[in-house]
A and B are shown apart, each in its own frame.
Chain A
Amino acid sequence: QVQLVQSGAEVKKPGASMKISCKASGFTFTNYYMHWVRQAPGQGLEWMGIINPTGGRTCYAQKFQGRVTMTRDTSTSTVYMELSSLKSEDTAVYYCARDRVAGRSYNWFDPWGQGTLVSVSS
C-alpha cells in the first residue's frame, strides 16, 4: 500500500539546523510531487514547499525562502527537508505528503506521513 514513513523526533538548539526524511513506498516515487507541511502546537497547517522527485526542482513558501532546502534520493525513494537557523517558533510537527495526481501538482495532499516532532529549545 502507499505509505510515507518519516524519521523520528528531534530536539534542537536555537540556531541549529534540522534534516528530516520521508521514505516512500507502494508507488512509483518519481511520478509524484512531494510536499512538506508543518503544524505548530495547537496551531493550523502551514505549507512549506514542494519537490519534484524526477528532476529535484523545488518551490518554497516565501516565509521559508533562504532557510529551507528540500532534496530527494531516487535510489531510496526518500525526500528530505532541511531547515536552518532554527528558532523556538519552528517547534512543530513536520509532515511530508504526496500529491494525489501523478505527473503534476494540484496541492491535493494524499497520503501523509505520520509526522515528525521537532522541538527547538535552549
Chain B
Amino acid sequence: QSALTQPASVSGSPGQSITISCTATSSDVGGYNYVSWYQQHPGKAPKLMIYDVSNRPSGVSNRFSGSKSGNTASLTISGLQAEDEADYYCSSNTSNSTGVFGGGTKLTVL
C-alpha cells in the first residue's frame, strides 16, 4: 500500500482535459512539496514531466501542468492527444528523505 494514492485509471477524448490526483495517505509524506510526476509508455523508461509540484522541464509540453492543495497533488493534461496515453506516476519524499511513488494511473485516450 503506497503512501501516495492515485486513481487506477482515467480516460478522456482528444482535445479534452483530464486531471490525475495524488493524495498523501501518510502524514510522513503530505507535509512536503517536492512532488514530481512521470510519464511512462509501455516498455519505456519513465520521463519526468513535472517537478517541484508545478515546474516543467525544458521540452515538456505546456499542456502538462501540476498543482497541490493540502495533501493532494494534481497533474492536469489539457488538449488531450493520442500520444498522451501512458501510465503516470506521482512521487514525493518522506520525512527521512527517502523516495516514494504513487501506485500509478493508466490514462486512456478514447
Q: Which residues of A does B touch, CB under 8 Å?
A: 35, 37, 44-47, 49-50, 59, 61-62, 95, 97, 100, 105-115
Q: For B86, what are the chain A residues with a Cβ–Cβ distance below 8 Å?
A: none
Known: A62-B98, A110-B51. 15 other contacts (CB 8 A): A44-B102, A45-B46, A45-B89, A45-B91, A47-B91, A47-B99, A47-B100, A50-B98, A59-B97, A61-B98, A107-B91, A108-B36, A109-B46, A109-B48, A110-B48
From residue 73 to 104 of chain B, which have CB atoms closer than 8 A to chain A? 89, 91-93, 96-104
Q: For B99, what are the chain A residues with a Cβ–Cβ distance below 8 Å?
A: 35, 37, 47, 50, 61, 107
Number of A-B contacts (CB under 8 A): 72
CB<8 Å pairs between A and B, sample of 12: A35-B99, A44-B89, A45-B46, A45-B89, A47-B91, A47-B100, A95-B46, A97-B46, A108-B34, A108-B51, A108-B52, A109-B91
Question: A110 contacts B57, CB within 8 Å?
Answer: yes
Q: For B98, what are the chain A residues with a Cβ–Cβ distance below 8 Å?
A: 47, 49-50, 59, 61-62
Q: Is B38 an interface residue (CB 8 A)?
A: yes
Q: For A47, what are the chain B residues with a Cβ–Cβ distance below 8 Å?
A: 91, 98-101
Assuming the contacts A61-B98, A109-B46, A110-B57, asked whether A44 and B51 have C-beta atoms less than 8 A apart, the reply is no
Assuming the contacts A44-B89, A108-B51, asked whether A115 and B101 have C-beta atoms less than 8 A apart, the reply is no
Q: Is B47 an interface residue (CB 8 A)?
A: yes
Task: Name which of B40, B52, B98 has the most chain A CB atoms within 10 A of its CB.
Answer: B98
Give the complex CA separation of A115 and B46 in angstroms: 10
Q: For B103, what are the chain A residues with a Cβ–Cβ distance below 8 Å?
A: 44
Q: Is B110 an interface residue (CB 8 A)?
A: no
Give which listed residue, B52, B93, B104, contacts A44 with CB less than 8 A. Answer: B104
